[in-house]
Structure 1
Amino acid sequence: MASKFPTKEEGNVKLRTRKGHDMTWSCDNLHHGEPITFYCKQHKIPICHKCATKDHQKPCELKDIGDVIFERRGNLEEKQPLIGETKLLLQKVQSKINAVSSSSSKHLETVNNKLQETFADKLKNAKETEVNLIRVINEEADEEIQKINEKREKRIKDCNIDIEKEQITIKERQTRLLSDTKTISDEVTKKINDLTNKIQHALNTMKNIESTITRINQHDETLVNEAPQVLASIDENVSLNFHQDVNDCLDRIQSEVERVTFVEAKVGGECCSRIDGYIGKWELVKSVHIPSFVNKPWVPGLISDDEICVEDAKNHDMYVTNINTQHTQKVIDGVSNMDITSCAPINRNVIVCGKRRWDSKGDRLDGCITLYDRQWKMIRDISIPRNGGFNSVYVNVDRDGRILAAEISQSNIYVINPDNGKIVHTVTMQDKKVLGEIQALSSGDIVVNTGYNKYTVISRSGEEKAVIHCDEWGDSKCRVDKLTDTLFITYRVAGKTYAVDQLSRDGIIQARGIVEYVESDRPFYFSPCLVTPYGNRVVCDGDKLLLYKKTFIL
């Protein structure tokens, strides 16, 4: 250790100063009282001449104290440019944080404005509908005074109730969507705040290091003793890669936010809308048990956002499970010569089912397409030409509410008017056959299962637009999100494990394994991942219907 060297007034001879060393720093040995002249590298301490000759002989390596001071000042000065450069980079990142935060807020504000504008129009249209209906009712009521007036008042009341219900539904949807955008906005704000705090902490650290360097440079003893720790702190805290990590995070935030969009389309005769566009994360939010009287569950489709069709593949009974109430009800008694291949809602009142029948004969497929009302009473059967002997038809509904129907192992897809059952157009594929389900895209194109693990996108003229294939998809099923034209392929991963991949309509895989689940021990028929109109996903593990919801993540 070293102490203050005695001054001339205390009776000692004044010491000669050296460049870079004030010579007032003396040895702490009371018997020496000499100025510090050396630095022992072995023991890492400053010493005087007597210390050097007595206690620090070889193998100690001694350096002139002035050289040590000069060297350590130089080391600290060399770090100054690095500190300055780091401060500039951190300040640039802070600027980018501000820019991305502003950009994200503006984009989400634009989405909100679009949402607000759309729902304002809906409320306005609902109100105009009410006014128009009341006017028509009043005109009819003028024909008969008392009787029609009574009837008019009743209809007005019913009309008001219906419109009020519709307005309530619109407002509830608007509230739900605004809540979704707020959740996304909160997630972005949280991430931005985290980055801001990290940058501020880094800037504060740099300021503290600079302050420490200024302080220790004022005294040689402090400089020599504390410089190694300061240098170590600089090496630990100063990293030029830090700003790049933050920049990458900001770019990811901006990219994910710009994916967010407000989507709207008509599905099953009902206008559906939601906040979508981002990949997000799928979380299991509900499990609905399938009753034991459904011996071998198979899920051919859904008829609303809440109602899932479940067939007993053993005896062909058809059930509907409401995933909100978790109630399962039989709607069709099965027969031995018929089962359901597919189903879809045409509008709020009508459902279409595709069937496989073993008793259909002749040159027409009779009873393989059936329309039902919402109470599952048959409206009519629709017949299409028979081109083979498989007696099995798959159906779906396009954006215009028309039925798409195709016989298995054939190349024709029929576009049918559900109002009269007439074929209005025939789509013929070249060199391909329908080997499973067909799905309509909002663009008008059709996704067709044309192989064991292959799907082909065709236009209404039969032109092949994309072939979607993956060797990992063994026995697979495909469903389409009709609001975004996103495809979801369900397949067996290994053993009892299944997964769902998300793809764009041109076949680009956007995310692998967004949903994974394990089949139960209960016998069941492999089912697709259903896409509800409001964006949820439903899969069947044989024992339960599993409902997944997407959340926004960064």
Structure 2
Amino acid sequence: MAARFPEGNHVQLRPRKGHDMTWSCDKHGEPIAFYCKKHGLPVCDRCAIKAHCQKPCELDDIEDLIFQRRKNLDDKKPQIEETEKQLKTLVSKIETVATSASRSIGAVKDQVKMTFEDKLKIVSHKKERKHREIHEWADERITKIYEEMDKKIKDCNTEIEKEEQTIKDKKAKLLSDTKTIGELVTKKINNLSCKNQHAINTLMNIESTIKRIHQHDETLVNEAPQVLASIDEISSLNIHQDVSDCLDRIQSEVERVEFVEGEVGGEYYDRIDGYIGTWELVKSIHIPSVVNNPRVFGLFSDEIYAHDRDNHDMYVTNISTQNTQKVIDGDGNTWISSCAPMDSNVIVCGQWRVDCTGDRLDGCITLYDRQWKVIRDISIPRNGHGFSVFVDVDRDGMIIAAQSYQSNIYVINPVNDKIVNTITMQGKEVHGRIQALSSGDIVVNTGYDKYTAISRSGEEKATIHRDGWGLSECCVDKLTDTLYIVYWDGVRNTYAVDQVSRDGIIQARRIVRYKESDRTDLISPCLVTPSGNLVGFDGDKLHLYKKTFVL
């Protein structure tokens, strides 16, 4: 590459036209003499000789080249001036166009701004409108929620108030019953106290009379016989023993009084009970003649269940309404022998079937709903030739079931219908109803006039029997475990009911009696309602009895 000669290196050069002789070769330091067209390089003589003397290099004299190029540049000066003139004329146009463009763009920008500000306003108004709609929707929902909440609270309060009122009513009734018993006891004790005090006053008068007549012989002779007669009379009354016996009886009866409560068929019941009392007939309900040969076998709350022994139709009689209606059409092979409430919606029934075969009693235990629609059947093993199955529900909600004339009692879980325990009685067979006690024991009809209380292991706890019962039926009060045994009293020609403890102790004889009708010849059990009333059936009418406390 060409460069200026370095200072101090003075070379005498021949000046030439149009050539700056201070221009020298960078490599050799000699003046530039030629220009290589091929390589586009200015070169000195030595470069020309060494590197650019052969084709395709073509060398021009550097002075001619400089002259020509200067000339070319000078020739372009008018063109430059003209172009410069033209460009200068564009300055004002540029400014004008720039101003116009700026104005136009500004107008567009303003239009854009205005348009989108309007759009933003529209969106903002839309937002406000949407917010109002949302608030209105929310207000409406909140109003509905509050309305629903108020309704639910009102319904809840109504339900709770109803429950509270039921509890208050029950409490008031129980307190009233307790008060009545207390008043009766107080009245009786006051009467005894008056009787005792009257005797004391009589004796005090006799003593005063004796003291007085002792003072005069004539008075003594005249009045002594009368005084002696009074003494003998009051002694013969044996008031002390009479009052003492009455007080003992009062104490014994009062000690029996207790508050009993519990669940029967999934519903809660309570009452004042435990005493012997006396039973009063409240009402009698006639069973319609459409039921040809009725026999009562169970109850659920205030509904009494009976079947027609002629055609095995099933009927329900409501104690409150006294209405009787058929709920199941019978057939010649099946009829219900026993039943018990599982809960407020389900009833389990034991049935008599004459068409059972094989080693299972299929269809002898059936679950019904309260409308007497079949829910499902439960099967137990079949032994021997008995076709009747008796059932009950124990305190844990388990079904207990037994085949007639067999020793096994099955405990069945109603959740999966599986037998969870088998209780085997020793030397005894099931002859009729089986009933669970609140203690967990079971009372079984084991003979013509015999009942046996057994434990869950099959151990005999008590034998319940009395000569004279003959053909009888037993029913258990689920709250007190008291047994009520109805039998035919041939001496009085009536049905009679004895009250017996679960230990087999007879607490009261013939607490109720009712005559047998000509409509049926088979005894029905005397049923116990959860509220403690007795329901006897004479073959024609249901007799409802209520117990009252007496001394």
Q: Distance in 2 between matches of 1:149 and 1:459?
A: 57
Corresponding residue for residue 338 of structure 1: 334
CA apart distance, 1:408? 1.3
Shift of 1:212: 2.7
- Does residue 164 of the first structure (1) align with residue 180 of the second (2)? no
Equivalent residues of 1:313, 1:525 under 8 A apart: no
Please list every run of 5 or more consecutive structure 1 residues that lacks an aligned counterpart in the other structure.
Answer: 1-143
Q: CA deviation at 1:298?
A: 0.6
* Structure 1 position 218, deviation (Å): 4.1
> Quick check: 1:450–1:456 contact (8 Å CA) kept in 2?
yes
Corresponding position: 1:474 with 2:473: no
**Alignment counterpart, residue 450 of structure 1, candidates 439, 446, 452:** 446
Aligned residue number for residue 536 of structure 1: 533
1:146 Cα deviation (Å)?
7.6
Could you tell me which of 371, 379, 386 is aligned with 2:382? 386
Q: Offset of 1:158 from its aligned partner?
A: 3.8
Query: Residue 406 of structure 1: which of 392, 402, 417 is its match?
Result: 402
| 2:465 is the counterpart of 1:463 | no
Pairs within 5 Å for 1:170-249: 170-238=167-235, 241-249=238-246
Q: How does 1:14-93 map to 2 (within 5 A)?
A: none
- Return the letter of the residue paired with 1:365: L
Among candidates 368, 371, 396, match of residue 372 of structure 1 = 368
Q: Please give the TM-score of this superposition, normalised by the length of structure 2.
A: 0.70
Alignment of structure 1 residues 143-154 onto 2, 5 Å? 153-154=150-151
* Correspondence for 2:343 among 344, 347, 354: 347
- Contact 2:196–2:239, Cα closer than 8 Å, also in 1: no
The Cα of 1:149 is off from its aligned counterpart by 6.2
Q: Following the alignment from structure 1 to structure 2, what is the Cα–Cα distance between the partners of residues 364 and 156?
A: 53
What is the CA-CA distance between 1:258 and the residue it aligns to?
1.0
1:445 CA drift (Å): 0.8
Deviation at 1:309, TM superposition (A): 0.7
SS of 2:289's partner is coil
| Amino acid corresponding to residue 220 of structure 2 in structure 1 | L
Separation in structure 1 between the aligned mates of residue 152 and residue 314 of structure 2, nearest angstrom: 37
Letter of the 1:507 counterpart: G
Residue identity matched to 2:192: L
Q: For 1:485, which of 481, 487, 491 is the aligned residue?
A: 481
Q: Quick one: structure 1 residues 224 and 406, their matched pair in 2 at CA, closer, same or farther if it must change by over 3 Å? A: closer
Deviation at 1:290, TM superposition (A): 0.9
1:286 to 283, 287, 290: 283
Aligned residues between the structures: 410
Deviation sequence 1:439-491 (CA, Å, 0-9, x none): 10111111111211221211111122222222312111111111111112111
Counterpart of 1:527? 524
Report the more deviating stretch, 527-536 or 147-156.
147-156
Looking at structure 1, the residues matched to 349 and 223 of structure 2 have their Cα atoms a distance apart, in angstroms, of: 82
Asked if 1:427 corresponds to 2:420, the answer is no
Written as runs of structure 1 = structure 2, the 5 A alignment for 1:269-308 is: 269-304=266-301, 306-308=302-304
The letter for the 2-side match of 1:228 is P
Change over 3 Å in CA distance of 1:352–1:145 after alignment to 2: farther
Question: What do residues 138-181 of structure 1 show as CA deviations (whole Å, max 9, x unaligned)?
Answer: xxxxxx97877666555444433333332222222212211211
The unaligned stretches of length 5 or more in structure 2 are 1-140
Match of 2:324 among 322, 328, 341: 328
TM-superposed CA distance for 1:374, in Å, is 1.4
Higher relative contact order (CA 8 A, sep 6+): 1
The CA distance in 1 between the partners of 2:416 and 2:435, in whole Å, is 22
Give the AA of the match of 1:450. Answer: T
Residues 426 and 237 (structure 1 numbering): CA distance in 2 closer, same or farther, change over 3 Å? closer
Q: Secondary structure at the match of 2:535?
A: strand
Partner of 2:543: 546
The match for 1:319 among 292, 308, 315 is 315
Contact 1:296 1:525 in 2 (8 A): no
Q: Is the 8 A contact 1:429 1:463 kept in 2?
A: yes
Is 2:436 the counterpart of 1:436?
no
CA distance in 1, matches of 2:228, 2:153: 84
Q: Which range moved further: 361-370 or 438-447?
A: 361-370
Alignment partner, residue 70 of structure 1? none
SS in 2 for 1:165: helix
More displaced, 415-424 or 450-459? 415-424
Q: Secondary structure at the match of 2:306?
A: strand
2:530 maps to a residue whose letter is P
Instruction: Output the CA distance in 1 between the equivalents of 2:148 and 2:361.
Output: 47
Deviation at 1:223, TM superposition (A): 3.3
- CA drift at 1:389: 3.1
Distance across 2 between alignment mates of 1:545 and 1:444: 30
CA gap of 1:466–1:213, structure 2 versus 1, over 3 A, is closer
Match of 2:513 in 1: 516
Shift of 1:541: 0.2
Which deviates more, 507-516 or 433-442?
507-516
8 Å Cα contact 1:317-1:332 kept in structure 2: yes
1:262 pairs with one of 253, 259, 264: 259
Deviations 1:75-117 (A, max 9, x none): xxxxxxxxxxxxxxxxxxxxxxxxxxxxxxxxxxxxxxxxxxx
Residue deviations 1:380-405 (CA, integer Å, cap 9, x gap): 11111222333221111111121111
Which residue is 1:49 aligned to?
A: none
C-alpha contact 1:454 1:468 (8 A) present in aligned 2: yes
Contact 1:298 1:524 in 2 (8 A): no
C-alpha separation in 1, matches of 2:419 and 2:495: 38
3-state DSSP of counterpart to 1:292: coil
1:549 match: secondary structure: strand
- CA distance in 2 between partners of 1:464 and 1:212 (Å): 66
Q: Tell me if structure 1 keeps the 8 A contact 2:411–2:419.
A: yes
Alpha-carbon offset, residue 232 of structure 1: 2.8
Aligned-residue RMSD, C-alpha: 2.1
CA distance in 2, matches of 1:425, 1:155: 45
Based on CA coordinates, which of the two structures has the bigger radius of gyration? 2
